[in-house]
Structure 1
């Protein structure tokens, strides 16, 4: 059987569905839908030069790669490639072909440092190391059983704090953009990034097909959003936290717990049964918050880096 690599065909629904299926099998703790896959290709900033690749065997998509430049970083030449193969279609050469095609493309686009998330399993780490990637920081995926588990009881907001949803900002989401930009800049990461411009944020984040604005919860003080948790849902029973953050001047007041607890309670009331999130292993504060909710680690990944040239 021969494996070949080509670009994903975003106008071919079957192709996109196979891409999403492979990603779901490889990373079941992340939401992958056909609409989200197409959205990533269509609405990521042009400067990122993104591509989605597929490895195909006998007409079946068995491997995937999402690649691009980290265009928001003040350090030029940084790029990412994240490669995942269907767990029942390994050892066919798909991963190696995808990595080679991705590296050639990114190098031609001026990339000099490549970052890749790799599941923290011996076979995956060995695959990356054989190709010259060295291990760096790590992160956990966490799962919460909303159907059978328990949540901390709801607490009323402190005086002066009001709870709203992202839907309340439909007419003007710019205040949420400002909060998202501030908190994202403080996330632990190998790659320093400057906040995206507002129009790019609208296209990539605010209009993302998985963003659930009714479940995305915001804490407001004196009319200003100061903490939020972004909720993604797949139209079924799963809920994923896209981001939870608090403005620097309001940290240490329990606002992250407040907004996330309110969102999780409403998610359970809406019939969602599983909640997932992810945290850098160095983000002790957020790991403690998620432990308080009852989240448990279900998988881990390690970011690997390779310098070209």
Structure 2
């Protein structure tokens, strides 16, 4: 078997989306989203998407990028994805080598990767010198059967419920809320350095983000909590971020935002919802479990120090 590793071309977008849906079905993947991420990547991200091609078919891919919004420079990430029928033949190794070479040349000092908790995948990471750090849990909710909680008949004084579309004229307050919540998420990398212009382009304007399904809770006019919603246009919904600002925690506002978002998603025709949480994020795991989300897949975060000459 002879395969070729090369850079992504726009014509590969559908093939890469099909690959991702087959390998990591809990992640949204569309040709539009993949093409958008590659074409709009900021220079500081040094993003390259490599594909492995065999007989004219894409059988693997890896997206290599510097974590340019991390508070500590020199960190990067790359996770090879290979179709199950083509594993164990060197495709993943070749993709990872191409990604690592690119990232080290871009100045990366620490390399992160995800390993799906399936037979052989963690062992692949460990054979390549990566060590296990954190666990993530991917959850699924069947929206066709879920007993979603009702919205309250009346909101507390000063509390209002909005959609993301209500902030189209000035999304900066939602950017500030997202940045605060993201900085408090448990994980190996703290990402709190994304500039507003980058957030606008790569979060707010991302083809997967659905502003009508996004919910925002304000208290006395100030954003307190939100549930950022994404869809693939194929009846699949994903939580892009749900959280509450520090000053408003402990009042059930994130639950309120997510309730409104999920109910609108079901009314819009979405049939299944996915989310993921760090295994140490016990409060959010509890919220999702109460909605009816159940374990779908697990993955381990791996890291290694970059080898240099």
TM-score (structure 2 length as normaliser): 0.97
- Are 2:145 and 1:144 aligned? no
Match of 1:154 in 2: 151
Match of 1:55 in 2: 52
Match of 2:296 in 1: 298
Q: Which of 87, 93, 110 is matched with 1:90 structurally? A: 87
CA distance in 2, matches of 1:180, 1:90: 38
- Are 2:2 and 1:2 aligned? yes
- Are 2:123 and 1:108 aligned? no
CA distance in 1, matches of 2:90, 2:290: 42
Deviation at 1:195, TM superposition (A): 3.2
Q: Tell me the secondary structure at the aligned position of residue 202 of structure 2.
A: helix
Deviation at 1:222, TM superposition (A): 1.5
Deviation at 1:202, TM superposition (A): 0.6
Deviation at 1:29, TM superposition (A): 0.9
CA distance in 1, matches of 2:221, 2:43: 34
Deviation at 1:60, TM superposition (A): 0.5
Match of 1:217 in 2: 215
Number of aligned residues: 306
- Are 2:267 and 1:269 aligned? yes
Q: Tell me the secondary structure at the aligned position of residue 88 of structure 1.
A: helix
Deviation at 1:308, TM superposition (A): 1.9
Equivalent runs, 1:10-29 vs 2, <5 Å = 10=10, 12=11, 15-29=12-26
Q: Which of 17, 27, 32 is matched with 1:30 structurally? A: 27
CA distance in 1, matches of 2:18, 2:85: 12
- Are 2:66 and 1:69 aligned? yes
Moved over 3 A (4+): none
Equivalent runs, 1:179-190 vs 2, <5 Å = 179-190=177-188
Equivalent runs, 1:235-274 vs 2, <5 Å = 235-274=233-272
Deviation at 1:143, TM superposition (A): 0.2
Q: Tell me the secondary structure at the aligned position of residue 200 of structure 2.
A: helix
CA deviations over 1:125-152 (Å, ceiling 9, x no partner):
0101000001110101100000122112
Q: Tell me the secondary structure at the aligned position of residue 124 of structure 2.
A: helix
Match of 2:305 in 1: 307
CA contact (8 A) 2:138 2:295 kept: yes
Q: Tell me the secondary structure at the aligned position of residue 208 of structure 2.
A: coil
CA contact (8 A) 1:157 1:258 kept: no
Q: Which moved more, 1:287-296 or 1:65-74?
A: 65-74
CA distance in 2, matches of 1:303, 1:157: 40
Aligned-pair RMSD on alpha carbons?
1.0
Q: Tell me the secondary structure at the aligned position of residue 79 of structure 2.
A: strand
CA deviations over 1:48-90 (Å, ceiling 9, x no partner):
1001110111111000101111112232211100111112222
- Are 2:41 and 1:44 aligned? yes
Instruction: For structure 1, list consecutive stretches of 5 or more residues without a partner in the other structure.
Output: none
Q: Tell me the secondary structure at the aligned position of residue 111 of structure 1.
A: coil
CA distance in 2, matches of 1:264, 1:128: 36
CA contact (8 A) 2:138 2:298 kept: yes
CA distance in 1, matches of 2:258, 2:224: 13
CA contact (8 A) 1:144 1:274 kept: yes
CA distance in 1, matches of 2:88, 2:56: 17
Match of 2:202 in 1: 204
CA deviations over 1:234-292 (Å, ceiling 9, x no partner):
11211100000111000000001100011111111111110100000000000000000
Q: Which of 157, 170, 173 is matched with 1:172 structurally? A: 170
